[in-house]
A and B are shown apart, each in its own frame.
Chain A
Amino acid sequence: EIVLTQSPGTLSLSPGERATLSCRASQSVSSSYLAWYQQKPGQAPRLLIYGAFSRATGIPDRFSGSGSGTDFTLTIRRLEPEDFAVYYCQQYGNSLTFGGGSKVEIK
C-alpha cells in the first residue's frame, strides 16, 4: 500500500498569501495519478486537481498542482477567504489511498 504523508499538518496564513502544501508518497505514484481535494467543515470533499496538475471544472487558476514520482505539491497562489479549509491528496495509481490532510487556517 502506498502511504501518503502530507505536510505541514497546519498552515497559518493571511488572505493574499501563498500556500504551499506537500504530499509525499512512500513509493512512486504511477502515471502521476494523484488528486487533491478541498474540504470545508460540514461539507463533502471537493475535487480540485487530478493527474497531479490538471484543474477540475470550475476550479480557479490560483490553485495549481505539480510534482511527480513521490513528491507532489498543491499551491494556492493568493489565498482568498473561502480557501481556508483542509486539503487532502489521494493516489489512484496503485489501489487507492488518501493522505492525512493539511489544514490551512487564518493567521
Chain B
Amino acid sequence: QVQLVESGGGVVQPGRSLRLSCAASGFPFTSYTMYWVRQAPGKGLEWVSLISYDGSNKYYADSVKGRFTISRDNSQNTLYLQMNSLRPEDTAVYYCARVRYPVVVIHYFDYWGQGTLVTVSS
C-alpha cells in the first residue's frame, strides 16, 4: 500500500536551516509529481513546493521562494525540502503529498503523509 513518511521536523531558531525528508513506498515513486503542503497551527492548507516526477521542474510558493529548495532522490524513493533562513511564520506541520496521476504536475492529492512539525522560535 502507498505510504509517505515525513521526518526531520523540530524546533529551530529564526534564521537557521532544517531539512525535511519524505520516504515513499508502495508505488512507482519515479513516475509521480510530489508536493510539500504546510499547515500553520489552527490555519488552513498552503502548498509550498512541487517537483516533477523526474526532478526537472520545481515550483515554489512566493512565501518560500529563494529560501526553500525541493529535491528528490528517485533511487532512494525520497523527497526532500531544504529550508533555509527560517522565519517564525514558517511554523507549521509539513505534509508531503502525491498527485493522483503519474507524470501530471498539477492535480488533486490522493495520498498524504502524517506530517512533521516545524517550529521556528527563539
Write the residues of chain A forming the contact surface with B, with a CB cutoff of 8 angstroms.
33, 35, 37, 43-47, 50, 56, 88, 90, 92, 95-101
Contact = CB atoms under 8 A, between A and B. Distances in A.
Contacts of A99: 44
Given A92-B106, A95-B106, A96-B106, A44 B112 contact: yes
A46 B108 CA distance: 11
Contacts of B45: 37, 45, 88, 90, 98, 101
- The 10 lowest CB-CB distance pairs between A and B, nearest first, are A35-B108, A44-B112, A98-B45, A100-B44, A50-B108, A101-B44, A92-B107, A92-B106, A96-B106, A96-B47
Interface string B20-50: 0000000000000000000000001111000
B58 to A, nearest CB: 14
Contacts of B47: 96-98
A45 B114 CA distance: 9
B108 A47 contact: yes
20 contacts: A37-B45, A37-B109, A43-B114, A46-B112, A47-B108, A47-B109, A47-B110, A50-B100, A56-B110, A88-B44, A90-B45, A90-B109, A92-B106, A92-B107, A95-B106, A96-B47, A98-B46, A99-B44, A101-B44, A101-B45
B114 A44 contact: yes
Given A37-B45, A44-B114, A45-B45, 18 more contacts: A33-B107, A35-B108, A37-B109, A43-B114, A44-B112, A44-B115, A46-B112, A47-B108, A50-B108, A88-B45, A90-B45, A90-B108, A92-B107, A92-B108, A96-B47, A97-B47, A100-B44, A101-B45
Contacts of B106: 92, 95-96
